[in-house]
Structure 1
Amino acid sequence: MIKAIIFDLDQTLLNRQASLESFTDAQYDRYIDYLTPVSKAEFKSKFMDFDNNGYVWKDKVYAALIEYFNIRGLTKDELLEDYITTFCDYCVPFPYLYETLDELTANNYKLGIITNGKFPFQLHNINALKLDTYMDTILISEQENIKKPNPLIFEKAAKQLGFAMHECLFVGDNFENDYQAAKNADMHAIYKANHQAMPTSNIPFINNLDELISQLKNV
């Protein structure tokens, strides 16, 4: 019987793509005096390319942008500091986030987050979405010095929640680091496909968070 639900953050609870769109739009406006004649569309497009779905930290992203567009009078450190301090102001939740968390809480599930990423950057994003008010444990890889897919980070979350691994279910959008890693750690898992092509067939999945409740009946 599932007693705890543990979530990935980016592209699972936090709509990272929409958040980045909003952030880069505003960042361009803040630094427009340095970025012309680069268009906003060009700036945002190359940011996304260099970001590689979050797998490249922003110091390298901004260094690449400055070189690509030959930007003068603005350093990667200035842009990085702006990103670190203000990105949380642009965090966008996925639809049905709060309704789903409210229903899970009402049904006495314990809740947690395991996310790879920088600390306290990821914590600021979690707090911006008020996810901290729902969660019984939050593990951020840089703070824990363990990252997914290492099973130790899943084991630590289960221990903090007070349940055996088979009593926990993990929900995430990365097939290797979330779904398969949780399964390898002896947790149940559901893949959040986000309407993308499935990496393999015959696995439990959701596209939207409001589908999670009904999927729990099949675990």
Structure 2
Amino acid sequence: MIRAILFDLDGTLLDRRQSLEQFICEQYNRFSSHLMSIEKSEYCSRFLELDNNGYTWKDKVYATLLSEYNITTLTQEQLLHDYITNFQHHCIPFKNTHELLQQLKQRNIKIGIITNGFTEFQMSNLRALHIHTYTNTILVSEAEGIKKPHPEIFERALQRLDVKAEECLYVGDHPENDVLGSEQVGILGVWKKDSFWGNFKHSRIVDDLLEVLSFLEVEIKTQ
């Protein structure tokens, strides 16, 4: 019987792409006096390209932007500080995020988050989304000293939820870090489909988060 579900954050519960698009447009507006020689659409689009779905450190992204556009009146530290401070104000959840979490709580399913990233930044985003109110445990890689897909971080989550691997689902958008990473310790992985990763083949795939409930029901019925 499924007793717990673990979730990734970025690209799974947080619509990072939409949130980032909104943030970077507002950042351009905040620093427009320094960026007047660059079209807003060009600045935003180049930032998103360099970001590489979150897998390039932002200090490198900003350093590249400043260099490419020969911006001398701003520093990467200023832009990075603005990102760390203000991204949380643009966090947008995927459709049905709260509906799913509410239904899981009603069914007494334990809920956990495992996310790679910096603790303060990720916790600010979770609070902005009001997701932390549903959770029984939250593991952020910086605080844990270990990151996905290392099996230890998944095992710690199981211990803190006090459930066995076969009693747990893990929902995430990254094929290796989330789905295959969780499955290496016996958790049932569910891929939150993301076109960034191409056509990943898996037996459990969802487009809409509410589809996660169908896997929960199937697992319960097969006990």
1:101 match: 101
Q: Secondary structure at the match of 1:170?
A: strand
Secondary structure of the residue aligned to 1:139 is strand
Secondary structure of the 2:37 match is: coil
User: 1: CA distance between counterparts of 2:214 and 2:188?
Assistant: 15
- The equivalent residue for 2:204 is 204
SS at match of 1:74: coil
Partner of 2:92: 92
For 1:110 and 1:198, how far apart are their aligned partners in 2? 30
Unpaired runs of 5+ residues, structure 1, are none
Aligned to 1:65: 65
**Alpha-carbon distance in structure 2 between the residues aligned to 1:143 and 1:33:** 38
Identical-residue share of aligned pairs (%): 45
Q: How does 1:151-190 map to 2 (within 5 A)?
A: 151-190=151-190
Normalising by structure 2, we get a TM-score of: 0.95
Q: Distance in 2 between matches of 1:218 and 1:204?
A: 11
Classify the secondary structure of the residue corresponding to 1:120: helix
**Distance in structure 2 (CA, Å) of the matches to 1:146 and 1:164:** 21
**CA–CA distance in structure 2, aligned partners of residues 99 and 195 of structure 1:** 23
How far does residue 43 in structure 1 lie from its aligned partner after superposition?
0.7
State the Cα distance separating 1:195 from its structure 2 match.
Answer: 5.8
In structure 2, how many angstroms separate the alpha carbons of the residues matched to 1:198 and 1:62? 31
The alignment partner of 2:126 has SS state of helix
Structure 1: which 4+ aligned runs deviate by more than 3 Å?
194-197
CA distance in 2, matches of 1:64, 1:129: 30
What residue in structure 2 maps to residue 12 of structure 1? 12
Residues 194 and 206, structure 1, Cα contact 8 Å, conserved in 2: no
- What is the distance in 1 between the residues matched to 2:211 and 2:106? 16
RMSD of the TM alignment (CA)? 1.1
Q: Equivalent residues in 2 for 1:6-85 (5 A)?
A: 6-85=6-85
Cα offset, 1:194, TM superposition? 3.7
Provide the aligned length of Structure 1 versus Structure 2. 218
- Give secondary structure in 1 for the equivalent of 2:218: coil
- Whichever residue aligns with residue 106 of structure 1, its letter is Q
Q: CA deviation at 1:56?
A: 1.1
Contact 1:150–1:181, Cα closer than 8 Å, also in 2: yes
